[in-house]
Amino acid sequence: MDIKKVNEQENTLEIKNLVIHYISDDEVVKAVNGVNITIKAGKTLGLVGETGAGKTTTALSILNLVPEPQGKILSGEVLLEGRSVFSMNPLELEEVRGDKVAMIFQDPMTSLNPVHTVGAQIAESIAIHRKVSKQEALKQAKEMLELVGIPGERANEYPYQFSGGMKQRVVIAIALACSPDLLIADEPTTALDVTIQAQVLKLINELRQKYHMSMLMITHDLGIVAEVCDEVSIAYAGRIIEHGNLEDIFDHMRHPYTKGLFDALPDIEARRSELKPIKGLMPDPTNLPTGCPFHPRCDYAMEICSQSLPQTKWISETHCVECHLYNDTNESRL
C-alpha cells in the first residue's frame, strides 16, 4: 500500500515515485528520492521542507525543466491530468508550459528578463497560447497587470523600474496570464519584505480561487500553509515523510520531524519559552545516511531506523507517514 488509493475525484497532478539526482564529475546530489504527490482539481497542496529538501527540483520536474544535463530523472512519473510529462515531445511540452501549468519563481529580482518590458513579458505567454495578435496580447497583458494591482500603463516599463514586490506581482501576472489549471508557487514570498509578503500571498490566494486553479505551494513557512493550503506534504531529504490534510498535520502530526518543525516555531502565547530548534543539520544530499534519512537527528531513533527505510504507513484515509515508530500502531508516539 505505498501509493495512495485512487480517488474518484480527478487528479490535476500526480507524481509517482519520482527520483532525480544531479550527477556531475565529482559528485551525485540526491535531490529527490522517491516523491509521491497528488493534487486534486481545485485543491492546494503545501509542500513544506527545509532548503535542500528537493522541493524546487520536484516542482521543476512537473514542467520538465530540471536543469540539463546534470539533472537526471532516474525513475518515476509526473502525470498532468493523466498525461505523462516525461513522455511529451517538445511541442506538447511548450503547449503545457504556461497554459496548463504555470510557475511563480522564488526570486522576482532575477526571474524577469531585464531587456524586455514587463508588458511584453506577460503578453508573450498570451500570444503563444491564445494565438492572438500582438496588440490583443498586449491589451490582455495590461489587464493582467491591473489584476495584480499595477496600473496598466506601466506595461511599457522595464523590470529595473519596479520594486521587488512589484516584480513578484509581474511574475504572478505572467503565471496567471493564461489561467492555468495548476499553479506552482515556489516560495513566492521568501525574497520579499515581510510587509509585502502578506499582500502577495493574499493576491495569489484570491486569484487562485477566482480561476479555480489547483496549486502546489512550496514553502518552509507553516503559517502560509495554514492560510492557503488544503493538504500538506512534509519533505525531507527528497522524500515525503508525512502527508495529510491541515488537521492531520497541524493537530495530529505523527513524524518526529514534523513535530520538530512545529516546535521550532515561536509561540506567541508563551513568550518566555525557548525555541526548540531541530538538532543537527539537513543531511548532505551527496552523502545521505542509511535507513531513514532523519535518524541521526531524531530523538526517537531506534536501531531499525539506521538499517531500513520506513514504508509509507496510512494512519487514516487522508493521513500517511514514513516512520518506523508506526510499524505496528496508528497511535501517536510523540
Binding residues (CB under 8 A) for other proteins: these are: 60, 63, 65, 67, 69, 90, 93-99, 102-103, 105, 107, 110-116, 121, 124-125, 128-129, 156-158, 160-161, 171, 174
Q: Which residues of 97-129 are buried (b: 16+ CB within 10 A; e: fewer)?
A: bbbbbbbbbbbbeebbeeeebbbbbbbbbbbbb
**Proportion of the chain in helix, strand, coil states, percent, rounded to 5:** 35, 25, 40
Least distance to other proteins from the beta carbon of 39, Å?
18
Query: CA nearest 54: which of 30, 76, 72, 23?
Result: 30
Helix (H) or strand (E) holding 83: strand 83-84
Closest distance to other proteins from the beta carbon of 17 (Å): 24
Residue 300 C-beta: closest distance to other proteins, Å = 40
In this structure, are residues 311 and 322 in contact, taking their beta carbons and an 8 Å threshold? yes
Which CB, 98 or 238, lies closer to other proteins? Answer: 98
Q: Which is nearer to other proteins, 90 or 277 (CB)?
A: 90
103 contact partners, CB below 8 Å, separation of at least 6: 59, 63, 175, 183, 184, 185, 186
Asked if 213 and 237 touch (Cβ cutoff 8 Å), the reply is no
Helical spans, DSSP H, in the chain:
55-62, 90-96, 108-111, 118-130, 134-147, 164-176, 194-211, 222-228, 246-251, 256-263
209's grid cell: 480561487
Of 6 and 115, the one with the shorter C-beta distance to other proteins is: 115
Tell me the closest approach of the beta carbon of residue 160 to other proteins, in angstroms: 5
Nearer to other proteins, 36 or 58 (CB): 58
Contact 326, 313 (CB under 8 A): yes
Q: How far is the CB of 116 from other proteins (least distance, A)?
A: 8
Q: Which is nearer to other proteins, 151 or 266 (CB)?
A: 151
For other proteins, which is the closer residue by CB, 9 or 24?
24
In angstroms, what is the minimal distance from the CB of 102 to other proteins? 7
Residue 206 backbone dihedrals phi, psi, to 5 degrees: -60, -45
Q: How far is the CB of 91 from other proteins (least distance, A)?
A: 8
Q: Which is nearer to other proteins, 16 or 129 (CB)?
A: 129
Beta carbons within 10 angstroms of residue 96's beta carbon:
23
Which CB sits closer to other proteins, 63 or 148? 63
Sheet of 71-80, strand order: 28-40, 11-23, 71-80, 83-84
CB of 139 to other proteins, least distance (A): 18
